[in-house]
Amino acid sequence: MSPEEFREHGKRVIDWIADYLAGIESHPVRSQLKPGQVRAALPPSPPERGEPFDNVLADLDRVLLPGVTHWQHPNFFAYFPANASGPAILGDLLSAGLGVQGMLWATSPACTELETVVVDWLAELLGLPEQWRTDARGGGVIEDSASSGSLAALLAALHRAGRGDRNTVYVSSQTHSSLEKAAKIAGISAEGVRAVDVDPATLAMRPEHLEALLAQDSADGATPSMVCATIGTTSTTAIDPVRRIGEICREFGVWLHVDAAYAGVAAVCDELRWINDGVAEYADSYVTDPHKWLLTNFDCTVLWVADRAPLIEALSVVPEYLRNAASETGEVIDYRDWQIPLGRRFRALKLWAVLRWYGAAGLREHIRDGVALAAEFAAMVRADEEFTLLPHHPFGLVCFRPLWRGLSDDVADEATGAMLQRLNDSGDLYLSHTRVGGRMLLRMAIGAPLTGRDHVHAAWRRILAEHRELRAELTAASRMCR
């Protein structure tokens, strides 16, 4: 593709993206395709001769788009948001254009140094400790996902603790599954992953139980290696008591990892800084995902460590072919030593573009909009006597369910599931679900950049209508049974 051809097709691609985002509401939120439909519409073998780029765009419209679930749709309320934004898309495109592989400082100094600048900037924006800045003992690094960031943190923690016969890791039933997976990858046995109880009302980790498990395991000769506390759990955005957990970790000399993948970025707002209480004093590592709620296209996770030495010692391997003068001086950072893979994309560009385009004020406004809309939605659910909701946390997620009075718990949960399926099949909106105390709950996660007040109110009306209809059907069916 010559530069002239690239220019021509590139302009068309940018137009395509702009049109797509401008017209996104014309699509059903969740793809309506059945398994195998996309594959069946594509040739089984690659072309022998090159084709015009227009053919790719035509198939994008014809074959792929129906198989796309529209995460940027304003009625996408499932999982957590995966924000995209103009500056992030353009930053990512520039990264693709440069085609840099930034494994070492020497393989592209700007890739490394810009990353250092943006992770330090973000630490400042989130009010994270000075000690985590790269010019102090700590430092941040951009990883592909919180899962990888937590795995890297676990390897650092195991390095510091020393490998014993029995390394143990402490999570709760609400901890993200990536921690269990990280333990598996790190060769920790299933019994070595210790489940700390949660408070049944708040779903937050119970520090007394953590303390008891640590005392017991230490006495039994295990090597407690890492505790993971979560700020904003995936299921319900519960918040573990980080300060108290940190005091216990200090007492036992155990690494404290804080998983704030979704909620951590909310700390750009002063009024939400309290979520990080205890982090500065006690956390050894911390992850948050600008690729969820901070307007930065996937993938972009930031992992910070309070002390970078154990991370680098755990992950640094230097083969002859990567030796270079800059690395030998020790004056530069080689981020390959801070992550699992060797190679790395120039991800800092998109985060830099986002931070510059929106500024701190713009980021705060985005988070505040989501928080306010979620609070408004929670208030509507609370006011309806046919519904109940979990205690609402100050982020973008509301967990709720219809009460289905008169139905047994099992039948009620089936009805909630049926209602969810109908809503999602309709393509009008997309919600996900969770289970708490055995009961099925709907998750309404607000935070897509295009979601406004009208979308949230329309979603609630749509949910009410589906509930009314299903309720009527259930009543008719139970009359027939009698």
Binding site for ligand PLP (CB under 6 A): 80, 145-147, 176, 178, 230, 233-234, 259, 261-262, 289, 301
**Of 217 and 289, which has the nearer Cβ to ligand PLP?**
289
Q: Is the CB of residue 265 less than 8 Å from the CB of residue 126? A: yes
CB of 150 to ligand PLP, least distance (A): 7
**Least Cβ distance, residue 260 to ligand PLP (angstroms):** 7
Query: Minimal distance in Å, beta carbon 176 to ligand PLP?
Result: 3
Kind of pairing between the strands at 139-143 and 397-402: unpaired
Residue 261 beta carbon to ligand PLP: minimum distance, rounded to whole angstroms: 3
Which of 261, 398 has the CB closer to ligand PLP? 261
Of 104 and 229, which has the nearer Cβ to ligand PLP? 229
- Find the DSSP H helices in 23-100: 37-40, 53-59, 86-98
Choice between 160 and 292, CB closer to ligand PLP: 292
Does the CA dihedral 67-71-74-75 come out positive or negative? positive
- Nearer to ligand PLP by Cβ, of 289 and 413: the residue is 289
* The 439-445 sheet, strands edge to edge: 387-389, 397-402, 439-445, 432-436
Spatial contact of 251 and 217, defined as CB atoms under 8 Å apart: no
Shorter beta-carbon distance to ligand PLP: residue 230 or 424: 230
Order of strands across the sheet that contains 285-288: 139-143, 301-305, 285-288, 255-259, 223-230, 167-172, 193-196
Report, in Å, the least distance between residue 228 CB and ligand PLP: 9
Using the minimum distance from each CB to ligand PLP, give the nearer residue, 184 or 457: 184
Q: What's the min distance (Å) between Cβ of 291 and ligand PLP?
A: 7
Residue 126 CA to residue 355 CA, distance in Å, equals 12
**Contact at 8 Å (CB) between 242 and 282?**
yes
- As a whole number of angstroms, the distance between CA 194 and CA 449 comes to 38
Residue 285: CA count within 13 A, CB half-sphere: 32
CA atoms within 13 A on the CB side of 216: 10
For 347, residues 6+ apart whose C-beta sits below 8 A from its C-beta are: 95, 115, 142, 299, 300
CB of 300 to ligand PLP, least distance (A): 9
Whole-number Å distance between alpha carbons of 315 and 103: 13
CB of 237 to ligand PLP, least distance (A): 8
- Residue 146 vs 279, nearer CB to ligand PLP: 146
CB of 259 to ligand PLP, least distance (A): 5
CB burial readout 433-445, b (16+ within 10 A) else e: bbebeeebbbbbb
The answer to whether 285 and 228 are in contact (CB under 8 A) is no
Q: By C-alpha distance, which of 221, 215, 154, 160 is closest to 185?
A: 154
> What's the min distance (Å) between Cβ of 378 and ligand PLP?
19
Give 205 or 412: the residue with its C-beta nearer to ligand PLP: 205
- Give min distance, CB of 432 to ligand PLP, in A: 12
Place of tokens 């690729």: 291
Tell me how crowded residue 1 is: count the other CB atoms within 10 A of its CB: 11
Nearer to ligand PLP, 198 or 474 (CB): 198
Nearer to ligand PLP, 75 or 230 (CB): 230
The Cα–Cα gap between 297 and 475 comes to 46
